[in-house]
Amino acid sequence: MKKIAVGQAGGPTSVINTSLVGFLEEIDVEVFGVINGFQGLVEGNLTHINEQKKKEINQFRKIPGACLGAGRYTLSEENKVEAIRVLQKKDIHCLVFIGGNGTASALYKLSETAKELNYELQVIGIPKTVDNDIYGMDHAPGFASAARYVATSVRDINQDLKSMRNFEQVRIIETMGRHSGWLAAASGLLKINKNAGPQAICLPEQQLKIENILENIKEIVSQNGFATIVVSEGIKIKDNNFEEKMSVKGRTVLGGVSSGIANRVKKELGFVAREEVLGMNQRSSQLTISLQDLEESYQVGQKAAWLVREEVTNVMVGIHRKERNSYQYFLSEVPLQKIYTSGESHLPKLFLEDFDAYYKWLSPLVGNDLQSYPEIFI
């Protein structure tokens, strides 16, 4: 009888557990849960998912965070062999992980290591990301809910600033998005017209100069009275290395670019400015889970279970969009090797040059129930 190990890796999302539940509800063979991501795999931290555990996991269906434990962990050569040994000891020949780009790459490498060791191993990825940077798919679960959080938060923080404009003129709002601007660009989804906030959005895909950003802010405040500026944590600014803040276990943790810019605004433009880091709520807010995201995250989990049964290997489930006027999608399989070799997916040129086209694409994912505020000054 086949045995499976399933785990969660990387930064969690608000719907990563939904995918786990979707997977487990379709699986009818013995399953082990990997605790704490790839580190748990290497250390042999596996738990048998019996009926009781399945019921417990089911309670997390609509709860953010990774209920198995996730965490970030880079697999060394030695660790990859160790991971295969752990699976071998339990006679597990199928490994399923819910994760993003890093997870797809780790799964691909593990399958290569297994080949070298002559160990038969089926590997399947279930996508999750808030950055929406997984190659080869239209989008991935977790992103739409994060985008919903960003779009509503920026709408509200802009409205708050508008009402305080005689006291405070500039807010620099920082979103997640290590290498791609999908999430930062989502901040303008609920703008009712071009003049409404956020009046500027800075993306990692752009070549930015601090002088131009400051000049732009000055211009916006002089025309508008205040300026709501959104920056992705991953933007690269020429002449200023705002990028690195702290390094955790060899991985750079971003954040802090907003306070760098806000300080320059205060010093050089003389405006009252404040940074707002949207923080972990972006990936973990339960109240902003998108219903479409919830449904799709369940379905990619289900689909992974079917792929296990069909003996498909070395793929991650993907979501693709049909070319229709209304939103329709289908699930497919994206080769892990493709994801590994292609790197992060960026905001395409079409969207960079036409945010309205991007918002048309984004709207059905985030949900059409959100209000745009009227741009009236009483």
Q: How many CA atoms lie within 13 A of 156 on its CB side?
A: 9
CB nearer to a second copy: give 291 or 350. Answer: 291
Q: What's the closest the beta carbon of residue 244 comes to a second copy, in angstroms?
A: 15
Q: What is the 8-class DSSP label of residue 276?
A: E
Site for a second copy in 278-337 (CB under 8 A): 278-281, 283-288
| Choices 83-91, 163-171, 302-310, 335-343 (CB under 8 A): range interacting with a second copy | 163-171
Site for a second copy in 125-154 (CB under 8 A): 152-153
Which of 131, 239, 356, 369 is the catalytic position?
131
DSSP 161-187: HHHTTTT--EEEEEE--SS--HHHHGG
Q: What is the 8-class DSSP label of residue 268?
A: I
* Number of residues binding to a second copy, judged by CB under 8 A: 65
Q: What's the closest the beta carbon of residue 287 comes to a second copy, in angstroms?
A: 6
Does 166 contact a second copy by CB under 8 A? Answer: yes
Residues shown for the chain: 378
Site for a second copy in 67-106 (CB under 8 A): 67-73
The CA distance from 190 to 90, in Å, is 51
Q: What's the closest the beta carbon of residue 314 comes to a second copy, in angstroms?
A: 27
Site for a second copy in 224-283 (CB under 8 A): 248-249, 253, 272, 274, 276-281, 283
Does 192 contact a second copy by CB under 8 A? Answer: no
CB nearer to a second copy: give 4 or 307. Answer: 4
Q: What's the closest the beta carbon of residue 349 comes to a second copy, in angstroms?
A: 32
Structure-token match 């991971």, residue found: 83
CB nearer to a second copy: give 62 or 85. Answer: 62
Structure-token match 């990997």, residue found: 34
- Asked if 135 and 125 touch (Cβ cutoff 8 Å), the reply is no
| 239 catalytic per annotation | no
C-alpha separations of 88 from 2, 117, 247, 310, 313 in Å: 13, 11, 34, 21, 18
Does 64 contact a second copy by CB under 8 A? Answer: yes
Tokens of 240: 């200023």
Does 362 contact a second copy by CB under 8 A? Answer: no
The CA distance from 213 to 315, in Å, is 42
Does 117 contact a second copy by CB under 8 A? Answer: no
Choose among 231, 195, 182: nearest CA to 361: 182
Q: Which helix (H) or strand (E) holds 79?
A: helix 77-89
CB nearer to a second copy: give 6 or 87. Answer: 6
- Beta strand 315-321 with 329-335: parallel, antiparallel or unpaired? antiparallel
Residues catalogued as catalytic:
131
Binding site for a second copy (CB under 8 A): 8, 11-12, 14, 33, 35-37, 39-40, 47, 53, 56-57, 59-60, 63-73, 152-153, 155-157, 159-168, 171, 248-249, 253, 272, 274, 276-281, 283-288, 371, 373-374, 376, 378
